[in-house]
Amino acid sequence: MATDSGLSDFIRDIINEDNRTGKHQGRVQTRFPPEPNGYLHIGHAKSICLNFGIAADYNGLCNLRFDDTNPSKEDVEYVDSIMEDIHWLGFDWQDRLFYASDYFEQLYQWAVQLIEAGKAYVCDLNADQVRQYRGTLTEPGKNSPYRDRSIEENLDLFTRMRAGEFADGSRTLRAKIDMASPNLNMRDPVMYRILRATHHRTGDAWCIYPTYDYTHGQSDSLERITHSICTLEFENHRPLYDWFVKELGIFAPRQIEFARLNLNYTVMSKRRLLELVKEGFVSGWDDPRMPTICGLRRRGYTPESIRNFCGRIGVAKFDGVIDIALLEHCLREDLNKRASRVMAVLRPLRVVIDNFPDGQVEQLDAVNNPEDASMGTRTVPFSRVLYIEQDDFREDPPKQFFRLAPGREVRLRWGYLITCTSVVKDPTSGEVVELHCTYDPATRGGNTPDGRKVKGTIHWVSADRAQTAEVRLYDSLFTTANPNDVPDGVDYKVNLNPKSLESLPTCYVEPSLAAAAPGDRFQFERLGYFCVDSDSRPDALVFNRTVPLRDTWAKIEKGQK
């Protein structure tokens, strides 16, 4: 059955079935539960689109809940960025902003309840010992020597753990389940640890903290989440979440797992992304090469393109890797409709139009977006000295090169036809530094009254009127499709792409861009989509290349070799 969004998948199938049988009286409530220990990435966007999208499809609600059980790694900086990114993606939790830390007292009381029921005990094994006792996938674990403490002793010790009588790591509270369970998560998992760390919300009120596994399911239950959607790695935690809920006799959400998003040529774990930031491999979480939401935003991605991408990749039960080219495709599709076309020259070559009067400037009409007439027109100034792209000239043009060459005629976009009459070279390096051309005054706007055919059209800017700008070109952060695929003992960072950022300090953009503000997006004709970077200042413009247009010439040239 198709939903409001037009999407259908196995999760929506489950919800349809629950609604048919009246399981929750048609109520649908989901949540997005980030740990505030890093910035959100494109994988989180998949989960956000899924949770908020499902709520919207079924007239339901989606909560935002911070699963903030690990004070040593969490920070308000992350909380704030996560909220900003979700809003930017176009979703809203209204008044349903929750924190697992708001449930600390309730969780504590439930822990006491489990102790009283003989289902939890205080264990004096240290972390290493707990690990040794746990066993392996092929061997059962061993019972802790503290497993059979009396309820009274457990209650006393747990109260004193909370009161701060014991050293960090010296004791834990563990669920009493089954040390021989084939599921390692069921082998008396730790529920509480002693940790003197200041929490970003509860400060120093607690010196014991609940584990993620003891917190997550009950938080869902407290919020009466009907469908608790998470990624596949939690599949074998589900029996534990269900165990807590059942032993406590509280509302039971249904957990549904889906495959996480993996993209090639990047890494997507917060731990790794944090490492890239901390060790200075990128300029920050919002470095335009990062797969973070704020990085993509700074790079020039639109929320619409990301939402569209998340809808297209769908949800499945098995892991796969999505080609980054699909994300870029979704972006081009969106920007093609909405980005103004402008002209910019990234690697300038000076062109003097010998028969155009010095000091004269002519304003030529240019269309802002051929895909959308409502975006109107603007004028671009034409003058005696211009810049064109170095690539658009070849002294010795190969076959199928239809741009400028000695004696050749080419069309200037929105301008005139020009013919190259001579070439000036640097006497020492032999590098072409300037071209001399003539223009045909009868060809204004690019037409040829005599009907002669001119194949090539190139972009250009007026040298006197152009604004200078810095342009940053990006390539993938890693050189290999799966950066994590390294031999034992080799760090994935060996796969970092040393050429992922190329900064061109002296580019020229048409004067209409003088007032462009950070976040503004454009298509630089023939070059790609670009946006104004947050480093940009009115007198020192900085653009990011968001994504290139497909380069047909590169393909032809490759085919020739």
CA distance 26 to 37: 34
Single out the catalytic residue among 65, 193, 270, 297: 270
Q: Which is nearer to ligand ATP, 215 or 512 (CB)?
A: 215
Burial (CB count <10 Å: 0-12, 13-18, 19+), residue 461: buried
Query: Does 269 participate in binding ligand ATP (rule CB under 6 A)?
Result: yes
The strand ranges marked E within 168-277 are 172-175, 190-194, 208-210, 227-231, 254-258
Q: Which of residues 223-242 bind ligand ATP (CB under 6 A)?
A: 230-231
- Residue 260 annotated in active site: yes
Q: DSSP H helical segments within 284-405, as ranges? A: 293-299, 303-313, 324-338
Query: Does 261 participate in binding ligand ATP (rule CB under 6 A)?
Result: yes
For 411-437, b/e burial (b = at least 16 CB within 10 A) is bbbbbbbbbbeeeeeeeeeeebeebeb
Nearest approach in angstroms of CB 107 to ligand ATP is 18
Question: Residue 294 in contact with residue 85, Cβ under 8 Å?
Answer: yes
Tokens of 204: 């120093």
Query: Does 134 participate in binding ligand ATP (rule CB under 6 A)?
Result: no
**Which of 73, 134, 201, 260 lies at the binding interface for ligand ATP (CB under 6 A)?**
260
276: nearest Cα among 93, 491, 473, 91: 491
Q: Which of residues 32-61 bind ligand ATP (CB under 6 A)?
A: 33-35, 43-44, 46-47
CA distance 525 to 261: 33
Burial (CB count <10 Å: 0-12, 13-18, 19+), residue 513: buried
Nearest approach in angstroms of CB 7 to ligand ATP is 16
Tokens of 318: 């098995």
Tokens of 41: 């990435």
Could you tell me which residues are beta bridge partners of residue 508? 345, 468
Q: Which of residues 459-488 bind ligand ATP (CB under 6 A)?
A: none
Q: Which of residues 4-33 bind ligand ATP (CB under 6 A)?
A: 33
- Applying CB under 6 A, the span of 2-10, 108-116, 268-276, 409-417 interacting with ligand ATP comes to 268-276
- Residue 257 annotated in active site: no
| Count of residues engaged in binding ligand ATP, rule: CB under 6 A | 15
Nearest approach in angstroms of CB 470 to ligand ATP is 32
**Which of 149, 270, 408, 545 lies at the binding interface for ligand ATP (CB under 6 A)?**
270
Our measurement of the distance from residue 156's CA atom to the centroid of its chain's CA atoms, rounded to an integer in Å, reads 48
CA distance 319 to 331: 24
Q: Which is nearer to ligand ATP, 271 or 555 (CB)?
A: 271
- CA 92-96-100 angle, 5° bins: 120
> Letter for the amino acid at 62?
C
Q: Is 482 helix (H, G, I), strand (E, B) or coil?
A: coil
Q: Which is nearer to ligand ATP, 8 or 231 (CB)?
A: 231
Question: Residue 225 in contact with residue 63, Cβ under 8 Å?
Answer: yes
Query: Does 72 participate in binding ligand ATP (rule CB under 6 A)?
Result: no
> What is the contact mask toward ligand ATP in residues 184 to 223, using x (rule: CB under 6 A)?
----------------------------------------
The 8-class DSSP code of residue 103 comes to: G
Q: Which is nearer to ligand ATP, 115 or 261 (CB)?
A: 261
Single out the catalytic residue among 260, 272, 350, 413: 260
Q: Which of residues 271-330 bind ligand ATP (CB under 6 A)?
A: 271
**Which of 83, 155, 197, 268 lies at the binding interface for ligand ATP (CB under 6 A)?**
268
> What is the contact mask toward ligand ATP in residues 349 to 388, using x (rule: CB under 6 A)?
----------------------------------------
Nearest approach in angstroms of CB 46 to ligand ATP is 4
> Letter for the amino acid at 123?
C
Q: Which is nearer to ligand ATP, 269 or 447 (CB)?
A: 269
Residues 26/27/28/29 CA torsion (nearest 10 deg): -170
Nearest approach in angstroms of CB 308 to ligand ATP is 16
Catalogue the active-site residues: 35, 260, 270
Binding interface with ligand ATP (CB under 6 A): 33-35, 43-44, 46-47, 230-231, 260-261, 268-271
